[in-house]
Structure 1
Amino acid sequence: MSTTGVASVETPTDTPAPYRWRWAALFVILAAEVMDLLDAVVTNIAGPAIRADLGGGASTLQWLAAAYTLSMAVGLVTGGRLGDIHGRRRMFLVGAAGFTVGSLLCATSASPGMLIASRVVQGLFGAVMLPQGLGMIKEMFPPKESQKAFGMFGPVMGLSAVCGPILAGWLVDADYFGTGWRMIFLINLPLGAAALLGALRYLPRSQSGGKPRLDIPGMLLVSLAALLIIFPLVQGREYDWPAWTFVMMAASGVVFAVFGVYESRRSKAGRDPLVVPSLFRKRGFSGGMALGLVFFSTMQGFMLVFSLYTQIGLGYAPLKAGLLMVPWSGGMVVGFGIAQAVARFGRAVLQAGTLVMAAGVFGVWLTLDVVGDGIGPWQLVPALLVTGIGMGLLMAPFFAIVLASVEQHETGSASGTMTAMQQLGGAFGVALLGTVFFGLLGGGIAGAVDHHADGLRRELTAAHVAPAAREHIVRDLRACASDRAVAKDPAATPVSCTRLEKDTRSAATSPEAGARIPAVLQNAASSAFRGGFGSVMRTVLWIVDGLLALTFLLAFLLPRHARPEEAGGH
C-alpha cells in the first residue's frame, strides 16, 4: 500500500462541504488495494503449478514474486508524482486499466519469460494506481472522518492476507474451464472493470495547485540500482555465481550512492527531487528505512520459502497449502487489533511484535525438528498463529512511528519512499532467502539420503541385491535425488537418474526383485526428499530469526512514540 499523497492541507475560513460520493469513492480505492494485495501473494501458492505447466528453473519461482514487487518499488514514488502532475483521478484510471491489461497478459502467457514480463507490467501500473487513492482520501474526507476512512485499510489488508492464499489454492485446484493457475489472474478482469467503472462514476476530479516536475534521471538511477542487486541474487545460483554477478552487486551500491548525490544536488538547485534528501539526515527516518528493509525482506522471503516447502517438500496441493497460511494471516489480524489497544506504548509494541514473531518462527523450527518427516498441517498451526500475531503487532505502528521524526512538508515524500522501500525489501527478501533455500537444497537432500542409507541397504539386501550393486544404487540415488531437486529444467532427466535406472535394472536377479527394487527406491527417495526439504527449511528459519533479532535492534533508532495526530494511522 502506497502513502505517496500530498502532505499540504489547506484550511480556509469557510470549509467547503465534503465530497458527496466520498464513501463510494473509498470502496473503489479499496478495490484497487485488494487487487494489489492479492496479486502480491497468489504466485507464492500458484508458483509450483505455474512452473509445472510453463517450465523454467528455480529462479522462475523467485521472479514471479520479485518482478512484481521490484517494478512496484521503483514505480511508486514516480506514480505519486504523476498524480500530482496530471491529476489523481486520471492516473488512477490509467493505472487500473494497465493493471487489468497486465493481468490478462499474465493469464495468457505461454512461457516463463512472458509471464515475468507481464508481472512487471502489473507492478508498474499498480505503482501508478495505488498512490492516487490515498491522496484522494486526504482531499475527500474532512479531518473528523479521515481516520475512519484510513482505518478501513487495516481490515482490508487483513482480509486479503487471509483470503489471498486460500483463493489462489482454490482456483488452481478447481481448474475452472481448464484454466488451472491462469484463473488467479483472470479474476482480476471483473475486479479491474468494476474499479474502472466505479472510478469513472465516483472519484473526484481534482488537479494539484503546484505541479512538480518529474525526476526522470532519479527514477532511472534508482531503478538501475535496484535491478543490479536483485538480478544477480536471483540468477547467480543458476549460472554458478560467475564474476559478473558480484560486479553487478558491487555496482548497485555505487549507483545508489550516485542517486543520493544527484538527489541532493537537484534539491539544492531548487528542482523537485524524487526523494527529499533531508529525510535521511533524520535518525528516526533512516533507522525506519533500515528496519523496514530488513523486516519486509524477512517476511516476504519467508512466505515464499515456506510455500515452496509445503507444496514441493511436503507435497501439499495448492488449496491445502493456502489453507495452512490461514493461522498466519488470522494471527496478523489479531496482532493488528492488539496493537490498536496498546498503541500508547509506541515503539515497545513494535519491539514486542518482533519478539513474538521470532518466538513463532522458532516454534515452526521446533515443530519440524520434533515431528520430523511425517509432519501434518495441524501440527504447524500454533506456531504459525503466534508468528502472525507478532507480525501484526510489528506492522501496525510501523509507519506512524517512523513518520514521527518527519516534518509535515516532508510527509508525502517520506510516505512514498517508505512504501517503495517496503516493496524493494520484499523483492530483495524473495531473491535472498529463495537463493539460500535452493542453494542448500541439493546438499540437504543428499544428506537425507545418507541418513536413510542403512535402511535402504537392508531393503536391497532383502531383495537379493549383490553388495557391490547395492553401493552403486545408494550412490546413484544420492546423486539423482540431489540433481533432480536443483535441476534448472524440471522436465529434463538428470544423467545421474538415467544411471540409477540402468543400475537398478541390472541389479534385479528375478522378476520379484525387479518389481520390489523400484518400490524400495521410491520410498527411500520420497523420505529423503521430505527430510532434505525439512532440513533446509530449518536452516532458513534460523536465518529468519537472526534477521528478526536485527530488526529488534534497529527499532532502537526509532522515536518512542508516533505523533498524536498519526497514532491511529494506517
Structure 2
Amino acid sequence: MTALEATSSGEQRGEVNPKRWIALTVILVAAFMDMLDSTILNVAIPSIRNDLDAGYADIQWVTAGYQLAFALLLILGGRLGDIYGRKRIFQIGVAGFTLASLAAAVSVDPNMLIVSRLAQGGFASIMVPQVLAIIHVSFPPEERAKAFGMFGTVAGLAALTGLSLGGLLVEWNLFGLEWRLVFLINVPVGLFGLILGQTSIVESKAPVPLRLDIIGAILAAVTLFLLVFPLIQGRELGWPAWGFVLLALTPVALFVFLRQQRARTRKDGSPLVALNLFRLRSFSSALGVQLAFNIGVGVFFLSWSLYMQVGLGWSPIHAGLTSLPFCIATFITSALSYAVLAAKMGRKLLQLGAVLVLLGLGSYIWVVQHYGSGATSWQMALPLALFGLGFGMVMSPIPDMATSEAPMKDAGSASGLVNTNQQLGFAIGTALVSVIFFGALGGNASDNAREASAQLRQDLAAVSVTGQSADRIVDYFVQCTSDQAKEKDWTVQAPSCAKVPTELSSNKSAAQVYADTGKHTNALTFADTFAHSLRWFIGGMVLTLLLTFLLPRKNAAHGKSEAGAEWKAAAETS
C-alpha cells in the first residue's frame, strides 16, 4: 500500500513531497479562512440587519444556513477527496468558497445573502476535510506532529483575528463597506491559496480505486438533517412537535445508513464511511472526547456572547478585545501541544487541559457572581486565560489522535468524520443554549426584578414619585422585565412593555431612575444565567475528562504504528 498516488507531473509513488511545508501553508490558509468566517460574522450581524433590512428569521438563516450546509456535506466532502483526488477537491472547494464570499459581500437583499451563505457552507464542506487528509498523507509520522501543531496554532490565530478584526472592520466602516468587508477579506486569502496550492500540493487519493456511494451520501445527509435542523432552528420556530418527530427518527435513519454501509462494504469495498475506522481505539475514543468537549464549547460561546453584549451592553469591539486573553492562551498552547508536549505526555496532555478548563470555568463563575453588573474585562482576564490554555491542549491534539492510525486510503473519510463530529458537537451545544440559557433567563429576570423593586421604589421616592404612581411603575417594571427576557428576538418589544405608565413618559427623573434600575437588573439576570450555563459546561468537562482515559496512553503518530509501517513500505516501493 502506497502513501501517495503518482501525480500528473510524474512524481513517484510513495515519495515524500519536497514542497510539503509550502503545501501545508496553503491548506492552513484555507483552514484559517473557514475558521475566521465562523467567528467574524457574529459581530457584523447588527450591521447586516440594518443595511439589508433583514428580519430575525433572515439573520438566523444567514448564520444557521452555513452551519447546516457545512454539517450535511462534510462526510461526503471527505470521501470525494479519497476518490477524485484531495488536491483537486481542495482547489474546487477553495475556488467555490472564494466566489461565494464575493457573492455574499455584494448581496443586495437578505435572500441573496442567505443563498451565498449556503454556498459558502457547501464549498467549505468539501474544502475543510481535505486539510486533515492532506496533512495525514503528505507527512510521515515523525513530522506529522509538527504539522498538526501548526494546524492548532492557526485555529487559535483565527479565533484571535475573528473576534477582534470583525469588530474593527465594522466599527471603522472602511470605504463605507461596513459588514461587507467581513466577506471580502476571504477573496484575497482564497486567491492566494488557489495560486500557491496549484504548484505546491501533491495530488493524492486512495491507492485502491473507490466508487462514489451516492445512496450512502443521501442517507448520511438525511440522518444529519434530521438531527441538526431541529437543533439549529428549534428555538426560533418555537420547538414545534414535528421537530421532536425528526429527532426521534434520527436513530432509525442512522440504523438504515449503517446497514447500507455494511452492505456497500461487502459489495465493492467503497462505502461512504469506512466503518473499520471505528474499530481503532484511537479514532473512536478521540471522537467521543471531541463530541463531549464541543457540546460544552457550543454552550459556552453563545452564552458568553449574550452575557457580554446583551447583558452587560458591551459593544462588539469591547467584547472582542475582552476575548484576547483566551485567544492568546489558546494560540500558545495550540502551538506547543503537538510540537513539544504530545510526544511526552500523550493523553495526559488532554487531561491537563481539561483540568485547566475546569479551573477557568470555576474562577469565571466566581468573577461573574462576585462582581455582578460591574464586572470588567480585566477581572475576566485570568479565568479566560486558564480556559484558553486548557482549550488549546484539548482541541489541538484531537485531529491527529483520531487520524493517526487511519489507513491512508480512508484518510478523507476519517477527516470528514472528525470535522462532522466537531460541527455536530457545536450544533448540539448551541441548541442546548435554548434549554440551559434561555430556559433559566426568564425565571432569573423575574426573580431579579422582584428583588430590585424595593430599591426602585426608594429611588422613585427620592425624585418625588410615591403612592399609586410608584406602584404602577414598579408593577410595570416587574412584568415588562420578565416578559422581555422571554422574547426570542430582543428587537421585538414584549406586549406588556408597550403600555408605558404616564408617570414614566412625563417625568424625566423617574424615567432615568427606571432606566438605571433596568440596566442593572438586566446585567444581573444575564450574569446569573451565564453562571448557570458555566455549571453545565463544568459537568460536560468532567465527562470529557473521564472519556480521555479511554484514549491510548501514547499517540500512534509519536511511536510505532501501522501508519508508520505504511509510510516505510511506501518509501521502499518507489
Bin of the TM-score, shorter chain as denominator length? 0.7 to 0.9
Q: Tell me which of 76, 89, 95 is aligned to 1:97.
A: 95
Instruction: Show the 5 A alignment for 1:11-410.
Output: 19=17, 21-51=19-49, 54-57=53-56, 64-109=62-107, 114-137=112-135, 148-204=146-202, 210-282=208-280, 284-336=282-334, 339-340=337-338, 341-343=340-342, 344-403=344-403
Structure 2 residue 457 is matched with structure 1 residue 457: yes
Deviation (angstroms), 1:379: 0.5
C-alpha separation between the residues in 1 aligned to 2:108 and 2:150? 38
Q: Which runs of 5+ in 1 are unaligned?
A: 1-5, 509-513
Residue 438 of structure 1 corresponds to: 438
Instruction: Show the 5 A alignment for 1:405-554.
Output: 411-434=411-434, 436-502=436-502, 504-505=504-505, 514-554=507-547
Q: Which runs of 5+ in 2 are unaligned?
A: 7-11, 564-574
Deviation (angstroms), 1:157: 2.4
Of 408-417 and 527-536, deviating more is: 408-417
Task: Report percent identity of matched pairs.
Answer: 37
Relative to structure 1, the CA distance from residue 31 to residue 398 in structure 2 (aligned partners, 3 Å threshold; closer, same or farther) is closer
The residue type equivalent to 2:487 in the other structure is: A
SS at match of 1:452: helix
Q: Deviations over 1:169-202 (max 9, x none)?
A: 1111111122222211111122122222333454
C-alpha separation between the residues in 2 aligned to 1:252 and 1:242? 16
C-alpha separation between the residues in 1 aligned to 2:398 and 2:193? 29
Of 541-550 and 112-121, deviating more is: 112-121
Deviation (angstroms), 1:495: 2.1
Q: Deviations over 1:322-378 (max 9, x none)?
A: 111111111113333553444223222212211210110111111001111111111
Q: Deviations over 1:93-121 (max 9, x none)?
A: 32112101221233344555654443332
C-alpha separation between the residues in 1 aligned to 2:117 and 2:192? 21
The question of whether the paired residues in 1 share the 8 Å contact of 2:296 and 2:541 is answered with yes
Deviation (angstroms), 1:403: 4.4
Relative to structure 1, the CA distance from residue 203 to residue 67 in structure 2 (aligned partners, 3 Å threshold; closer, same or farther) is same
The question of whether the paired residues in 1 share the 8 Å contact of 2:78 and 2:414 is answered with no
Of 479-488 and 424-433, deviating more is: 479-488
Deviation (angstroms), 1:261: 2.0
What is the total number of aligned residue pairs between the two structures?
A: 556
Of 140-149 and 555-564, deviating more is: 140-149
Relative to structure 1, the CA distance from residue 297 to residue 311 in structure 2 (aligned partners, 3 Å threshold; closer, same or farther) is same
C-alpha separation between the residues in 2 aligned to 1:242 and 1:204? 49
C-alpha separation between the residues in 2 aligned to 1:137 and 1:163? 24
C-alpha separation between the residues in 2 aligned to 1:456 and 1:7? 75
Of 190-199 and 489-498, deviating more is: 489-498
The residue type equivalent to 1:459 in the other structure is: D
The residue type equivalent to 2:100 in the other structure is: G
The residue type equivalent to 2:161 in the other structure is: C
Please tell me the root mean square deviation across aligned C-alpha atoms, in Å.
3.2
C-alpha separation between the residues in 1 aligned to 2:132 and 2:415? 11
Relative to structure 1, the CA distance from residue 107 to residue 434 in structure 2 (aligned partners, 3 Å threshold; closer, same or farther) is farther
C-alpha separation between the residues in 1 aligned to 2:296 and 2:285? 17
The residue type equivalent to 1:535 in the other structure is: D
Of 389-398 and 399-408, deviating more is: 399-408
Query: TM-score normalized by structure 1?
Result: 0.87
Of 463-472 and 253-262, deviating more is: 463-472
Structure 2 residue 557 is matched with structure 1 residue 559: no
SS at match of 1:303: helix
Residue 3 of structure 1 corresponds to: none
C-alpha separation between the residues in 2 aligned to 1:151 and 1:50? 36
Of 397-406 and 535-544, deviating more is: 397-406
Relative to structure 1, the CA distance from residue 365 to residue 51 in structure 2 (aligned partners, 3 Å threshold; closer, same or farther) is farther
C-alpha separation between the residues in 2 aligned to 1:265 and 1:396? 35
The question of whether the paired residues in 2 share the 8 Å contact of 1:402 and 1:558 is answered with no
The residue type equivalent to 2:512 in the other structure is: A
The question of whether the paired residues in 2 share the 8 Å contact of 1:162 and 1:326 is answered with yes
Query: TM-score normalized by structure 2?
Result: 0.87
The residue type equivalent to 1:83 in the other structure is: G
C-alpha separation between the residues in 2 aligned to 1:161 and 1:131? 19
Deviation (angstroms), 1:150: 4.5
